[in-house]
Structures are given as C-alpha cells and as structure tokens.
Amino acid sequence: MKEIGSNPQFVSEGEIRQPEASPYDRNALYPPIPPIENDKLSLVWKGLVREFKNVGLVRSIDLSSNKLIGELPKEVTELVGLVSLNLSKNNLSGEIPQRIGGLKSLDVLDLSKNHLSGRIPSSLSQVSRLSTFDLSNNNLSGKIPMGTQLQTRDATAYFGNPKLCGDPLSKKCPGEDEPTTSRATEDHGGDQDDEDLLITKGFYISSAVGFIVAFWGFCLALIFNKSWRYRYFKSLNKAKDWLYVTVAVNKAKLLRIIRS
C-alpha cells in the first residue's frame, strides 16, 4: 500500500501497527503486510480500524506509477482470484515471491520499471492464462525458467535486465553457448564439400560422354550396315502408320459422339 498523509496501512486483525521510520516522507510501501486470515483484512484508515471481508475476491490491482518502495508483499500470492496485477513504474525492490505461480487466474502481470532482483520464479511457467507479461527494466538475473508461458514471449518482456539470460533473449547462459567448430572439423568439412563437387562434375561429364558415344555409335551402325538401316526405317514407317491410324480412328469416334 502507499502511505500519503493518513492513507491506510495494513495491520493484523485486532492490532494497529505504526509505520516504521523511513527516509521517504511520501509514497512509501511499508512491509510486512500481515497474512490474510479467514478472508479478512483490517486497515487503519484516518485513525480508525476498518475490516474488509472477502478480500480473496479481489480481481484487479493497479498501483502503477506511484513511486512505491519496498518489497513486493508475499501476501499478494494469497489472492487466488487475482486476474490483473500491475505494479509497474515504481521503486519496488527485492525478489518476486516464489509462490506467485499459484495465481492461476492471472491474465495480466506487469512488474516492469522497478528494481526487482533475483531470479524469475519457476512457478510462473505454471500460469497458463497470461496474455500480458512484462518484467522489463529491473535487476533480475539468472536463466529464464523453462516453460512455454515464459520462453515463447517476445524478448521485449525481459529487456533491461542485463544479468538475465536464456530464451527468448539472444544472450545465452554460461554453459549453453553453441559449441564452436574446430579448425580441423572446418577443414574436413571443406574437403568433403570439394569432394562432393568433384563427384557431381564427374557424374555429369561421364553422362555427357556416354550419350555422345552411344548416339554416334548408333548413327555409324546405320550408315555402315545396310540391313540395319533398312529395318530401322521400316520400323519408323510402321510406327508412323500406326500412330496415324490410331489418331484417325479416335478422331472419328469423337466426332460421332459429339454429333449424337
């Protein structure tokens, strides 16, 4: 919560807690927020203790652009019905609560432009309904947890975290760099490519030579052997006559069908 003048402060049920001393006169978030018990929460509002019931039914929290300081309260993970959580553009520090993945209904999570540190909780990969997700411009570090919900996001959701690594960022984590190809392997690969190139050229050259030899051998056989030449041209005439008759007959049948 944000304290400005007499704005409310979270207290345990039946207890009034005075704010701790802070160098900030305004816009301060004072932890810890007491646990939510029996779905009730008590607040000090203008000197009076007020009790709020059914806080578990809260669906949206938007405290963006309020210059809030302090850690992100762990008690927010008990609001299991929460759909939208926007705490962007503040001065929040500390780590993201590990149990934040318990907010299964979460559709919007924006914690960008704060000073959050530590690793991204792996439990976030279990939140399957996230449509808006932004952790950019913080001090998060380590590898982005495995999971479709986190690694298929646009990389801009993680920009501004120099110590963050892993997909979808282009920065690889230590030990995950692509293996470098040794010089010997590269040379071997180059020799293999040259060998394949020579085989390809040899294949086409041999095919061309074989065709030329076969063609001219056949022509020379017809030129110098009269009986072969006679049989060859006779076969060509028979093939031509057969083709002509076949086309003529099929044409006549087609015309009769069209006329009928």
Domain range for 224: 197-259
CA distance 11 to 52: 11
Asked whether residue 182 is domain-assigned, the answer is no
Using alpha carbons, select from 12, 129, 16 the residue that is nearest to residue 80.
129
pLDDT at 30: 44
Residue owning tokens 């704010």: 19
Residue after which a domain boundary falls, among 165, 189, 216: 165
Phi, psi (degrees; rounded to nearest 5) at 16: -105, 125
Per-residue tokens: 149: 């919900």
Same domain assignment for residues 46 and 129: yes
Same domain assignment for residues 160 and 233: no
Q: Quote the radius of gyration of the chain (alpha carbons, Å).
A: 40
Same domain assignment for residues 32 and 135: yes
Distance of CA 154 to the CA centre of its chain: 7
The pTM score is: 0.53
CATH code of residue 44: 3.80.10.10
Same domain assignment for residues 142 and 202: no
Same domain assignment for residues 210 and 117: no
Q: What is the pLDDT along the chain (260 residues), one digit of tens a residue?
A: 443 333 444 433 333 333 343 443 444 444 344 455 566 666 666 677 777 676 667 888 888 998 888 898 888 888 888 999 999 999 999 999 999 988 989 999 999 999 999 999 999 988 888 889 999 999 999 999 988 788 888 899 999 999 999 888 988 888 765 544 444 444 455 555 555 555 677 777 888 888 888 888 888 877 888 788 788 888 888 888 898 889 988 888 888 888 87
Asked whether residue 106 is domain-assigned, the answer is yes
Asked whether residue 178 is domain-assigned, the answer is no
pLDDT at 112: 95
Same domain assignment for residues 55 and 160: yes
Same domain assignment for residues 150 and 21: yes
User: What total number of domains does the chain contain?
Assistant: 2
Query: What's the burial of 78, exposed, middle or buried (CB within 10 Å: 0-12/13-18/19+)?
Result: middle
Using alpha carbons, select from 153, 51, 173, 57 the residue that is nearest to residue 112.
153
Asked whether residue 175 is domain-assigned, the answer is no
